Structure 1
Amino acid sequence: MDIGQKIRDLRIQKNLTQEELGERTDLTKGYISQLEHNQSSPSMETFFDLLNVLGQTPAEFFTEDQTQQLVYPVGDQVEYEDEERGYLLRWLVPESNENEMEPVRIEFNEGGEFKTFEPSPAETFIYVMKGRVTLQLGHHTYSAKRGETIYFHATQQHRIVNAAKGPSTILLVATASYL
């Protein structure tokens, strides 16, 4: 195990500079650099301070990387159908509501509409794969057809409606806690 590289990786995951990590652990930027390049070894106390700031327990730190799932077959995807509103929602990444982004595919029947959402800090990206949809965002309406995209901050009440004569399909990716 490359301890220096693991410290560096954790620091970067926490979006910290060497200087910021040093400030939070009463160490110098130069010493953090030496640790990350395996040119120095920390005392146990210093190591535990680093782990505390980096949000790791010693057990987590020394556990070898577990294989992370990067490919999600169709069988892992979860579907929800709302016949009353006329759409089929497919979560493309299981448990994605625990991640920063939540990608879903929504298939609308003719006249179908997605539920109305209250304002939130989420950012939302929509790619129209088939048909045409409208986004009602506050008092404004935006329309996009196959091949076009919509990108917005969800700071107003909003909903998505199928505007095509026939079915429409979109890929929607939203930041945390949208769906």
Structure 2
Amino acid sequence: MEIGKKLKDLRLQKKLTQEELGERTDLTKGYISQLENNLSSPSMETFFDILEVLGTTPKDFFDNDRVSQPIVYTKQDGTVFEDREKGYSMTWMIPDSNNKDLEPIMLSLNANGEYKQFAPSLSETFGYILNGTIELQLGERMYSIKKGESFYFEATESHQIRNTSVRPAKLLLVVTDSYL
């Protein structure tokens, strides 16, 4: 394991310069550079201080056995839920998306189908219409959105998506996980 490279990668992920990391750990920019280039080895205390500033633990830093998260997902990875009464089906496209900051969902609405009404929250919602036309109710306002169009809103008002046409509609929804 290249400790210096891993330290540099963590520093860059935190968007810190060598100078900023040095200031937060009472080290010089030059010493941080030496560590990142494997030209010097820190004491245990210094190493632990650096890891703390970089937001990780020694165990996580050295844990090479962790299973990395998949990058590509297939249709079989999704989980489908169907509500025949309300006329929609949805697919959670990422298996553990409820543990992520973003939750991508494929939503299919039958003719005159409607997705549940949501209360106000701190979430952000993006949608792209793949087929058909949907109606978005956002508070008291109504929007008609058709194939090829997209929408984005901060969910500070109650909202609901409906298909008011006689043709099926399909859309990609991406919602942030930021609830009140």
Same structural fold, with TM-score higher than 0.5 when normalized by the shorter chain: yes
Which amino acid is the alignment partner of residue 62 of structure 2? F
2-structure distance, mates of 1:157, 1:66: 39
Which amino acid is the alignment partner of residue 151 of structure 1? Y
Residues 53, 147 of structure 1: alpha-carbon distance in 2 compared, 3 angstrom cutoff? same
Residues 73, 114 of structure 1: alpha-carbon distance in 2 compared, 3 angstrom cutoff? same
Which amino acid is the alignment partner of residue 155 of structure 1? T
Of 40-49 and 61-70, more deviation after overlay is shown by 61-70
Counterpart in 2 of 1:22?
22
Residue by residue over 1:78-122, the C-alpha shift from the partner in whole angstroms, topping out at 9 and shown as x without a partner, is 111112211101000011121121100000011111111112222
Residues 101, 141 of structure 1: alpha-carbon distance in 2 compared, 3 angstrom cutoff? same
Of 56-65 and 75-84, more deviation after overlay is shown by 56-65
Counterpart in 2 of 1:74?
75
Q: Is 1:150 aligned to 2:146, yes or no?
A: no
> TM-score, normalised on structure 2?
0.88
Contact 1:122-1:177 within 8 A present in 2 as well: yes
Please state how far the C-alpha of 1:23 moved relative to its aligned partner: 3.7
Please state how far the C-alpha of 1:24 moved relative to its aligned partner: 3.2
Contact 1:122-1:174 within 8 A present in 2 as well: yes
Residues 67, 166 of structure 1: alpha-carbon distance in 2 compared, 3 angstrom cutoff? same
Structure 1: state its 5+ residue gaps. Answer: none
1:9 is paired with a residue whose SS is helix
Residues 35, 143 of structure 1: alpha-carbon distance in 2 compared, 3 angstrom cutoff? farther
Of 22-31 and 46-55, more deviation after overlay is shown by 22-31
2-structure distance, mates of 1:90, 1:115: 15
Identity of aligned residues (%): 56
Q: CA RMSD in A?
A: 2.0
Residues 159, 115 of structure 1: alpha-carbon distance in 2 compared, 3 angstrom cutoff? same
1-structure distance, mates of 2:94, 2:171: 16
Counterpart in 1 of 2:2?
2
Counterpart in 2 of 1:115?
116
Contact 1:116-1:158 within 8 A present in 2 as well: yes
Contact 1:97-1:177 within 8 A present in 2 as well: no
Residue by residue over 1:98-154, the C-alpha shift from the partner in whole angstroms, topping out at 9 and shown as x without a partner, is 112110000001111111111222211100011001111111111211111111111
Please state how far the C-alpha of 1:17 moved relative to its aligned partner: 4.1
- Please list, as runs of the form range in 1=range in 2, the aligned pairs for 1:22-171 lying within 5 A after superposition: 22-64=22-64, 66-171=67-172
Please state how far the C-alpha of 1:15 moved relative to its aligned partner: 4.2
Which amino acid is the alignment partner of residue 55 of structure 1? G
